[in-house]
């Protein structure tokens, strides 16, 4: 079945440093890859997404890269701030609107 693997499970960085979270997916038909930030007890918030016809997408301090051949995608956060501390999830789906499968999550801690 579909599977999304996410690493690392925890990540601690100093304020101002960059953070990178990596995900791999199993289904070569997957073509939509969103990233979510979730605070404790809250709903996931979409922070960036990428479709399979694009290799990279950037939005201010956040970027996502996709390697379809290797079936992996990564989230890059630059100039991290304490308020970036949260749990981040990658996800993948076959077709927009199809079922969304989540990675295991990464707990990011940004130390001031």
What is the binding site for other proteins (CB under 8 A)? 1, 34, 41-44, 46, 49, 89, 96-97, 99-105
Contact assessment for residue 53 and residue 60, using Cβ atoms and an 8 Å cutoff: no
- What minimum distance in Å lies between the beta carbon of 16 and other proteins? 27
Q: How far is the CB of 34 from other proteins (least distance, A)?
A: 7
Judged by beta carbon, residue 78 or residue 102, the one nearer other proteins is: 102
Q: How many CB atoms lie within 10 A of CB 91?
A: 22
How does DSSP assign 27-80, residue by residue? Answer: -TT--EEEEEEE-TTS--EEEEEEETT-SEEEETTEEEEEETTTTEEEEEE-S-
CB of 13 to other proteins, least distance (A): 20
Give 68 or 102: the residue with its C-beta nearer to other proteins: 102
């Amino acid at each position: 079945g579909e599977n999304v693997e996410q690493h690392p499970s925890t990540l601690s960085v100093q304020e101002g440093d960059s953070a990178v979270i990596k995900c791999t997916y199993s289904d070569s038909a997957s073509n939509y890859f969103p990233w979510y930030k979730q605070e404790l007890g809250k709903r996931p918030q979409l922070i960036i997404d990428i479709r399979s016809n694009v290799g990279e997408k950037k939005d201010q301090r956040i970027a996502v890269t996709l390697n379809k051949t290797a079936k992996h995608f990564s989230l890059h956060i630059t100039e991290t701030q304490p308020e970036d501390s949260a749990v981040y999830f990658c996800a993948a789906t076959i077709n927009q609107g199809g079922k969304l499968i989540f990675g295991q999550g990464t707990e990011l801690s940004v130390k001031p």
